[in-house]
Structure 1
Amino acid sequence: MKFQELRKAMVLGTLAAFFFAFTFLLNKLMAASGGHWIWSSSLRFYWMLPFFLVIVLIRKNLLPLLAHIKANLLAWVIWSTVGFGLFYAPLTYSASFSPSWLVASTWQFTIIAGVLLAPFIYKNRAYFSIGNFLFSLIILLGIIIMQLSQVATINTKTLMFGSSLIIFAAFCYPLGNRKTILMIKGELDVYQRILGMIICSLPFWLILNLYAILVEKSLPTAEQIQQTFIVGLFSGVIATSLFFYATQLVSHNHKALACVESTQSGEVIFTLIGEMIILHIALPSLYALIGMAIIIIGMILSSLCSK
């Protein structure tokens, strides 16, 4: 593939990482203020719905999308639930257990997940890149070091539980994303794909909302509604559009796709800076910073390997 195309996708992926960072920051802010995680997660997608509906309507692409969903309803519901529901609900819940920069760091496991899932998604072992896998292990090492740096400040069981939620989400996101790319076979654009995934993940969110109301006796707070709007706009609309467009640009090249997915490591730096400015946290420990640096190095090496 052309280097210019890869570079464009990399720039878009990095911009997406900046806007995705608001997810970790605001989820932590909502968790700290007592907002229930179910509303923090579901309201984001309710806010995203009108934005993407308007975009698709303006582009006169709604009817082809609805026809595609009707023809592949079960697949749409399954992979939208995996890619949006089972990705974002655990990620939001994890904000109750860890600092936002640590959640963002552990989330980089999605890079490893993308590499491991590739041969199973594409049914071809040739899609497994040894180079990308080895460099992904460097990222994993950085994540482990950052986790160990928190052992003294966070209960070990709590840390492990929060990490397991993030790792589960880290597999669901690339799985849902890549499966929907394969499903649409180039017949829909990125905005149609995102809108379709939002619509088809709604049953999952509605079930969670019923649970929150009937079992948890919880309703969203006014502050939570405002903050999820910001998350929905910055992360759900802007970041998701940029990232999905970037991955679709290189979807025909699995190495380049892994390269673009690795740009999400930038979320770690953006989230840390944001948490220090907005939440006024102290600079993490030396071990945490070393782990963070290793993650970034792994991202860069993975990118070079994919060229």
Structure 2
Amino acid sequence: MKEIALGVLASLFFAVTFILNHSMELEGGSWLWSSSLRYFFMLPFLLVIVASRRGLTAVAKEIKTQPKVWLLWSSVGFVLFYAPLTFAAAYGPGWLVSGTWQFTIVAGVLLAPFFVQYIDGKVIRQKIPLVSLLISSIILVGIILIQIPSMKYVSLESLLFGIFPVVIAAFAYPLGNRKMMDVCNGRLDTFQRVLGMTIASIPVWIVIAIYALATVGLPSVSQMIQSLIVGISSGVIATVLFFIATDRVHNDQGKLAAVEATQSTEILFVIVGEMLLLDVPLPKPLALFGIATIIVGMSLHSYYTTILKKKSSVVLQTVTKDRIKE
């Protein structure tokens, strides 16, 4: 439950991303700057945190050992995650993008076969946890329900641009996160890993910023301030909290799916935030039902992980003891 609580707390800070990205789009800010500025602002804060913990040398050593691997998976986990999210913000309110983003819970479960464990010198490919997949499917139904009301008011082109980029981000984020956990293999703590991934992705963000400068010019002061807030809230606080939670359970695909499922609570924070700050109206009843379905799915993930697995463990121990007595 500690890891799930960390995931929910991270979701609160992650919600700032969707609210302010929508705000920047309403003000005419480019998604190119919204995405790249976040990581530019994250970097100095992470450097100070890791330096104060005397961890910079270890980060530099790890990146130098496998620079191409760090560049690849950091770009997947950060660039292919955040650039599509900011792009999608131009085509719908934050709660709609946030709701679609919950597909990452299903994506995280489906990614299990791409990872292996080493047990007694043998390579064992991880399997998709079927119960977690079933529960995640409930969340997927909720995602579909919140999209239906929007289909009546927006063009097909806008709907596709608002959904497909988010689906790409939904796969990229857990894939990059998990791959880098494997690459680091416990040699770096969460702060060091986030810093390393930020540094490794900076070359791509520089290219995006140069393109933005050439096409849309400099960002406004308002966009820079809001990007700074996003960088601190979502980039530093939320990312570190979430990575701590996933680090603790990364060897158990069921528990990992449950922690990733806590991201579904983001949508509640986004709805309230947009209503208070941006005067966005309350979602339609069908969308609200979809949101409730997502929350139910997340709750089932938590119940399965914390209650049912514990019962299964107790039963297994009892059976083992009985066999020993026999």
Q: TM-score, normalised by structure 2?
A: 0.90
**1:95 aligns to 2:89 (yes or no):** yes
Identical columns (%)? 49
Q: Distance in 1 between matches of 2:174 and 2:194?
A: 14
1:57 alignment partner in structure 2: 51
Matches within 5 A, 1:179-194: 179-194=179-194
Amino acid at match of 1:210: I
Give the drift of 1:303. 2.1
Matches within 5 A, 1:115-194: 115-122=109-116, 124=124, 126-194=126-194
1:3 alignment partner in structure 2: none
- Max Rg structure: 2
Deviations 1:209-261 (A, max 9, x none): 111122x1321111011000110111111111110111111122221111111
Q: Distance in 1 between matches of 2:261 and 2:206?
A: 32
Give the drift of 1:120. 1.4
Q: Distance in 2 between matches of 1:217 and 1:273?
A: 32
1:36 alignment partner in structure 2: 30
Amino acid at match of 2:199: I
Q: Distance in 1 between matches of 2:127 and 2:239?
A: 25
Q: Distance in 2 between matches of 1:171 and 1:217?
A: 29
Q: 1:115/1:205 Cα in 2 relative to 1: closer, same or farther (>3 Å)?
A: same
Deviations 1:121-177 (A, max 9, x none): 237554311111111111111111111111112212211221000000000000000
**1:74 aligns to 2:68 (yes or no):** yes
Residues 21 and 270, structure 1, Cα contact 8 Å, conserved in 2: yes
**1:106 aligns to 2:106 (yes or no):** no
Q: Distance in 2 between matches of 1:138 and 1:146?
A: 13
Q: Distance in 2 between matches of 1:27 and 1:86?
A: 16
Q: Distance in 1 between matches of 2:233 and 2:115?
A: 29
Q: Distance in 1 between matches of 2:301 and 2:145?
A: 19
Structure 2 unaligned spans of 5+: 118-123, 307-326
Deviations 1:40-84 (A, max 9, x none): 011011111011100110111101110110001110000000000
Give the drift of 1:292. 0.6
Matches within 5 A, 1:281-296: 281-296=280-295
1:4 alignment partner in structure 2: none
2:205 alignment partner in structure 1: 205
Residues 115 and 126, structure 2, Cα contact 8 Å, conserved in 1: no
Q: Distance in 2 between matches of 1:141 and 1:125?
A: 29
Q: Distance in 2 between matches of 1:163 and 1:114?
A: 17
Match of 1:17 among 11, 14, 22: 11
Amino acid at match of 1:251: H
Question: In terms of mean alpha carbon deviation, does 244-253 or 48-57 score higher?
Answer: 244-253
**1:255 aligns to 2:257 (yes or no):** no
Give the number of equivalent residue pairs: 300
* SS of match in other structure, 2:153: coil
Q: Distance in 1 between matches of 2:182 and 2:21?
A: 31
Q: Distance in 1 between matches of 2:29 and 2:163?
A: 21
Q: TM-score, normalised by structure 1?
A: 0.95
